[in-house]
Amino acid sequence: EVQLVESGGGLVQPGRSMKLSCAASGFTFSDYYMAWVRQAPKKGLEWVASISYEGSSTYYGDSVKGRFTISRDNAKSTLYLQMNSLRSEDTATYYCARHGGNSPHWFAYWGQGTLVTVSS
């Protein structure tokens, strides 16, 4: 059974940094593109970033480019999101998602999300 479990969320002050993790199991992690998608309270979904299966290619949404970094450790089956210079508008539930294969296909599986609140 595919499982994606996010961790690392919480309350952080504006301008500070936070790192999210996503532990994957139930599939061969190194075979799949992975992604982060976020959802601000009572708002829609926003794609944040994706990373290729071997980690050599990364893609970012306009609102986080230059501040967030997606990475992965295939030996640990773990996806990361390093978030720097956080702003109040980054407040959201962050979902880890698995693309459909070794290309940026559809988001076949999602974690339950971790809430990040940026506030002083």
Partner 1 sequence: DIQMTQSPSFLSASVGERVTLSCKASQNINKYLDWYQQKLGEAPKLLIYNTNNLHTGIPSRFSGSGSGTDYTLTISSLQPEDVATYFCLQRNSWPLTFGSGTKLEIK
**Where does this chain bind partner 1 (CB under 8 A)?**
37, 44-47, 50, 59-62, 95, 100, 104-113
By C-beta, is 65 or 76 nearer to partner 1? Answer: 65
**Closer CB to partner 1, residue 13 or residue 57?**
57
- Among residues 14 and 101, whose Cβ is nearest to partner 1? 101
Minimum distance from residue 75 beta carbon to partner 1 (Å): 26
Q: Least distance from C-beta 120 to partner 1, angstroms?
A: 28
80 versus 95: smaller Cβ distance to partner 1: 95
State the nearest-atom distance from the C-beta of 20 to partner 1, in Å: 15
Per-residue three-class SS string for the chain: CCEEEEECCEEECCCCCEEEEEEEECCCHHHCCEEEEEECCCCCEEEEEEECCCCCCEEECCCCCCCEEEEEECCCCEEEEEECCCCHHHCEEEEEEEECCCCCCCEEEECCCEEEEECC
